[in-house]
Structure 1
Amino acid sequence: MENFFGILKTELLYLQEFDSIEHFLTELDDYIGYYNEKRIKTKLKDMSPVA
């Protein structure tokens, strides 16, 4: 779980500024979808967690 938050900070939080909490929540929701469904994980033999 700590690894997820580190990656989240690096790939989302440090790369952009958010205009509002709603904007942040929308981007966070999109990122979690990407992380779970499309982002390739080396530990999972180049598959996403949902694959």
Structure 2
Amino acid sequence: KQSMSRKGNCLDNAVVECFFGTLKSECFYLDEFSNISELKDAVTEYIEYYNSRRISLKLKGLTPIEYRNQTYMPRV
């Protein structure tokens, strides 16, 4: 079942749903975890990778952190 924050509006979580799909396909489904601690460590490492090293064509070839810094930091 899709998650919805408001009745009948599944688009509220579109960005998060997309990220979780990517997390599952690039991290979760590619490995086997023998305990919850291994899974937590893998997710933590993946989020670090995703934000700081994984480039995105949708973000003009930048990582999410680079894009945020370029877009939202005041230019001096």
TM-score where L is the length of structure 2: 0.64
Distance 1:43 1:16 in 2: 27
Segments of 4+ moved more than 3 angstroms: none
Specify the code of the residue in structure 2 equivalent to 1:31.
Answer: Y
| CA deviation vs aligned residue, 1:17-40 (integer Å, no higher than 9, x gap) | 101111110111000000000101
Correspondence 1:25 to 2:71: no
Aligned match for 1:7, one of 15, 22, 40:
22
Identity %: 45
- AA of the residue aligned to 1:17: E
Structure 1 residue aligned with 2:53, among 13, 25, 38? 38
Decide which structure has the larger Cα Rg and report it: 2
- For these two proteins, the number of residue pairs brought into alignment is 51
List gaps (5 residues or longer) in structure 2: 1-15, 67-76
TM-score (norm 1): 0.93
* Structure 2 residue identity aligned to 1:48: T
Taking CA–CA contacts closer than 8 Å with sequence separation of 6 or more, which of the two structures ends up with the larger relative contact order? 1
